[in-house]
Amino acid sequence: MIKIKQMTLYRLRMPLRTPFSNWREQVKEKDLYICELVDQDGVTGYGESVAFDSPWYTEETTETVHYIAKTYLKQLLKEPFSHPSEFIERANVIKRNHMAKAMVEGALWDIFAKRLEMPLYQVLGGKNPKVNVGVAIGMKQTDDETLDAIGQAEKDGYKRIKLKVSKKNDLRLIEKIRAKFPMMPLMIDANGAYTIQDIEHVKKFDHYNLLMIEQPFHPEDFVDHKYLQEQLHTPVCLDESIHTIQDVRTAIALESCRIISVKLGRVGGFRNALTIHDLCQKHQIGLWTGGMLEAGIGRAQSLALATLPGFTYPADQAGADRYWEKDILSEEIMAKNGMITLPERPGIGYEVDKAAIAYYQIDREIVKV
Ligand SMILES: [Mg+2]
């Protein structure tokens, strides 16, 4: 049994080494919460909020995560847990707010795995601690900057490139990339930049041997994604569209996509992600773990999920050195030749660096459970 004694919420402000841009937004720093839970025996677990500080990606923000966690989720921690899956059953009375739920649930899974003295990835059902990873390249000022960034990623051994696109830069840039890197596994992410009116334009992407096109249309356009996928050879991948198992069932029933990007925060944590994994495997829907510019705790948790057998495409969790001067773990999460090997230590497998937490901390709140 796990009986939670204390919850501490650390608010951190971490500047990114390089600002990350898509067609809507530029992220220069990550304003995030770390949730620390301590159980009856002093076992400590960590979760991370992956929300951004404004609601451009989903409706959640750093502030809403804080409010939901300290006001409602804390109440769900009063009764003991025999398994962390019980959290999401209790949390179903609170609608959506998936990133807040995932943050708290993540800390419970960390404690659960530590109590079992097992690495979290094994507790989740993963067998192989080696995860292939790719890099996401945001929009740059010039095409040459983008080509240089791809060249560097290729040199570093990363297994695929994901490129943020908009109507303004897409075909021109992909043409240039393919001229220089004809064989590089390449995918594009539109963050909903197109509509069904652009279908003839989007169909031109079929010429470039892309791994997938991520979220071409608005998140709620399951029907239009279906019309697109019918006419497109390249697989459509849904990201922002997928919040729940019901969204996955809709996408499968309509054949709106062939691939889904799973983000722990967006789907409400591990329990839901595992259910989505199993359903997608059954229906031959490809999977990979998407990135949210996570700090170390969130990165380690996403990588643990990515060890499950259904995650056949490279994960978006590149080495932490691409994002931060100094991450919040004692040992940096490093990629070698495009692969990250998870440690065999219990829980998330990485020590949280308390000095780094203190360095980035702008607020700390002990929430009475
Ligand atoms: Mg995306």
Active site residue 164: yes
pTM: 0.96
pLDDT confidence of residue 168: 84
Please state, in angstroms and rounded to a whole number, the distance separating the CA atoms of residues 290 and 325: 22
The amino acid present at 203, given as its one-letter code, is K
141: Cβ contacts below 8 Å, ≥ 6 apart: none
Q: Are 100 and 65 in contact (CB under 8 A)?
A: yes
Q: Are 68 and 53 in contact (CB under 8 A)?
A: no
Rounded to the nearest angstrom, the distance between the alpha carbon of 345 and the centre of ligand 1 is 31
Q: Which of 263, 326, 336, 354 is catalytic?
A: 263
Rounded to the nearest angstrom, the distance between the alpha carbon of 127 and the centre of ligand 1 is 27
How would DSSP label each residue in 7-18?
Answer: EEEEEEEEEEEE
By DSSP bridging, strand 339-341 and strand 130-132 are antiparallel
Q: Which of 30, 162, 164, 368 is catalytic?
A: 164
pLDDT confidence of residue 21: 85
**Residue in the structure block whose two tokens are 């095409």:** 143
pLDDT confidence of residue 179: 97
Rounded to the nearest angstrom, the distance between the alpha carbon of 340 and the centre of ligand 1 is 21
Q: Which two tokens stand for residue 221?
A: 């356009």
Rounded to the nearest angstrom, the distance between the alpha carbon of 172 and the centre of ligand 1 is 21
Active site residue 168: no
Query: For residue 77, which of 137, 15, 2, 150 has the smallest C-alpha distance?
Result: 2
DSSP structure class, residue 347: B
User: pLDDT by residue (tens digit) across 168-225?
Assistant: 889 999 999 999 999 999 999 999 999 999 999 999 999 999 999 999 999 999 999 9
Rounded to the nearest angstrom, the distance between the alpha carbon of 147 and the centre of ligand 1 is 20
Rounded to the nearest angstrom, the distance between the alpha carbon of 262 and the centre of ligand 1 is 10
DSSP structure class, residue 336: B
Query: For residue 105, which of 294, 297, 257 has the smallest C-alpha distance?
Result: 297
- Residue 20's alpha-carbon distances to 24, 30, 192, 305, in angstroms, are 11, 11, 17, 24
Q: Are 191 and 291 in contact (CB under 8 A)?
A: no
Rounded to the nearest angstrom, the distance between the alpha carbon of 240 and the centre of ligand 1 is 7
- Residue 41's alpha-carbon distances to 79, 107, 111, 144, in angstroms, are 16, 15, 10, 55
Rounded to the nearest angstrom, the distance between the alpha carbon of 316 and the centre of ligand 1 is 10
Rounded to the nearest angstrom, the distance between the alpha carbon of 214 and the centre of ligand 1 is 6
Kindly state the percentage of the chain with pLDDT values over 70: 100
Please state, in angstroms and rounded to a whole number, the distance separating the CA atoms of residues 247 and 132: 27
User: What pLDDT tens digit does each residue of the chain (369 aa) get?
Assistant: 999 999 999 999 999 998 888 887 888 999 999 999 999 999 999 999 999 999 999 999 999 999 999 999 999 999 999 999 999 999 999 999 999 999 999 999 999 999 999 999 999 999 999 999 999 999 998 999 999 999 999 999 998 999 999 888 899 999 999 999 999 999 999 999 999 999 999 999 999 999 999 999 999 999 999 999 999 999 999 999 999 999 999 999 999 999 999 999 999 999 999 999 999 999 999 999 999 999 999 999 999 999 999 999 999 999 999 999 999 999 999 999 999 999 999 999 999 999 999 999 999 999 989
Rounded to the nearest angstrom, the distance between the alpha carbon of 291 and the centre of ligand 1 is 8
- Residue 260's alpha-carbon distances to 161, 294, 324, in angstroms, are 17, 19, 27
Please state, in angstroms and rounded to a whole number, the distance separating the CA atoms of residues 103 and 331: 21
Rounded to the nearest angstrom, the distance between the alpha carbon of 237 and the centre of ligand 1 is 9
Rounded to the nearest angstrom, the distance between the alpha carbon of 58 and the centre of ligand 1 is 11
